Structures are given as structure tokens and as C-alpha cells.
Amino acid sequence: MNILLVDDEELQLLRLVNTSKKVLKEQNYLSFTNPEKALEASKSTPIDLAFLDIEMPLLNGIQLAKKLKAINPKTNIIFVTAYDDYALDAYKVHASGYLTKPVNEAKIKEEIDALNNVHPFANSKDIQIKCFGNFEIFYKGEPLKFAYQKSKEVVAYLVDREGAVININELNAVLWEEDHKSYLRNLLADIQKTLKSLHASNVIIKRRNGYSIDVSQVDCDAYEYKKGNPEAIRLYRGEYMIQYPWAFFKE
């Protein structure tokens, strides 16, 4: 297995290499402090696994990951960073793991073990949903944009209800104290129009008595968690749709 390790700080890189070698023995290691040189090396050596620092000059870890994936989509990416603010960006490039410094053997082993399990989004559908932390919805890896900001919260509530049919009155009561049904209908129309433009109109089902999400049409970390997917369980850190006061994850 070819393992690429990139960190612009030489001491941090040395620690990462030494720690990785204790967990993954007898592998081919390629280590670089310069991300551009690392990228060049990956063009001649197929990379199976890459440990990438995120904050680097010239080419940061997120950018490097996208380029590595373009060369070899099967490359597993594990980000290594001193900060915990990049989870959304890591998700968007379908990272296999996310480590915060200081890295030790136990942390690396946990990430490597997780590679042997099915990633929640390994066979991604066009619509991908992230509930852990902030709620986010993606279309083919890019954030989905609605005409109204509030439309996203409507989708979040339908996702939370896991396919149950929700009527206008319930949606209105959850989102506002006052009657905003007219505005809510505009939001629902916005959602349907946006999904239709992406040829994904079957994701949200309109029924005579309400609306629901077709759970079979989306990849969702919370749904995978409830199925017992080990990788989804690992991703859950006790935070669920934290921007919405009504959200409460029932494990």
C-alpha cells in the first residue's frame, strides 16, 4: 500500500510518519513538507491512503485532497489538523477520516479500522445530507442552494421525521409561533423547484395531506447511524442539527 503524508511543519510530519509506521507496518511511505511536490509524486505512484495537514501554504489540504481524488478517486483521505473547524469541508471531498493533533497510535488505528468498514457515503446518491453538527445538504458534493434561506430548515425537519408525512400545520407550528402558512407554501415551492432543476424532484414527495422525504433517495449520516453503520457511529459527536432549536437526535 502506498501511503502519502503531507505536513508543512517538518517536526509534525516526522511524528506523523513515525506514528503511522507503528500502526501500518511494511508499507511504502511517501512524505512531503511541500504539497505541490506531493501532488507531483502522486501522478507516478498510485496513492492508496493520504494523511494531509489542512493548513498549508501554496496548496492547503482540502485543495490537495481534491487534486488527489481527481487523479485517483479511490484514494482514502485522512485529514490531520490542529483545529476542528474543517469538518464540513472534509465532508465535501468525501474524506475517509479526520484527525485532530496531537496524533497518537490509538487515533490512527481507529481511523484505519474505520477504512475497513463501509463509509456512509461510499456509494453516494446525488443528494447527501449531513445532520451531525450543523445540518447541510449537498448535490453531488456541492452545497445545495435554495432561493430562500428558510427552505433549508424545512428540508431539515422532513429529514428529521424520516419519511413521515408532515402537514402544513405541523411545519408551521415547528418553524414559527405565528401563522406563516402562505410563506411556508412559497418555501415548499422553492424546494420543489430547486430539486426539479437538478432532476431530483422525487426526493421530496408531495401528498394530498402533506410532504415527506423519500429516505431511499438520499445518503444521510443520521440514517446510517441508526442502521448501525460503524463509520456513521464514529462521526457522531453528540451534536445534531445544532442550528435548529427544535432538533433533538434520538439515538
Tell me the average pLDDT of the chain. Answer: 87
Per-residue model confidence (pLDDT) at position 167: 95
What pLDDT digit, counting tens, does each position of 47-75 carry? Answer: 989 999 988 988 999 899 999 989 988 78
- The domains located in the chain, with CATH, are 2-115 (3.40.50.2300), 127-235 (1.10.10.10)
Mean pLDDT, residues 27-54:
94
Higher pLDDT, residue 84 or 28? 28
Per-residue model confidence (pLDDT) at position 124: 63
Backbone φ and ψ for 207, nearest 5 degrees, come out as: -115, 170
What pLDDT digit, counting tens, does each position of 97-110 carry? Answer: 778 888 899 988 88
What pLDDT digit, counting tens, does each position of 178-232 carry? Answer: 999 999 999 999 999 999 999 999 999 998 889 999 999 999 999 989 988 877 7
Which long-range CB contacts under 8 A does 72-75 form with residues at least 24 apart?
72/42, 72/46, 72/47, 74/48, 75/42, 75/47, 75/48, 75/49, 75/50
Per-residue model confidence (pLDDT) at position 117: 42
What pLDDT digit, counting tens, does each position of 77-91 carry? Answer: 898 887 655 555 555
**Are 99 and 107 contacting, i.e. CB atoms less than 8 angstroms apart?**
yes
C-alpha cell at 30: 511517501
**Are 97 and 111 contacting, i.e. CB atoms less than 8 angstroms apart?**
yes
Closest among 81, 31, 78 to 53, alpha carbons compared:
81
Residue 129: enclosing H or E segment and its boundaries? Answer: strand 127-130
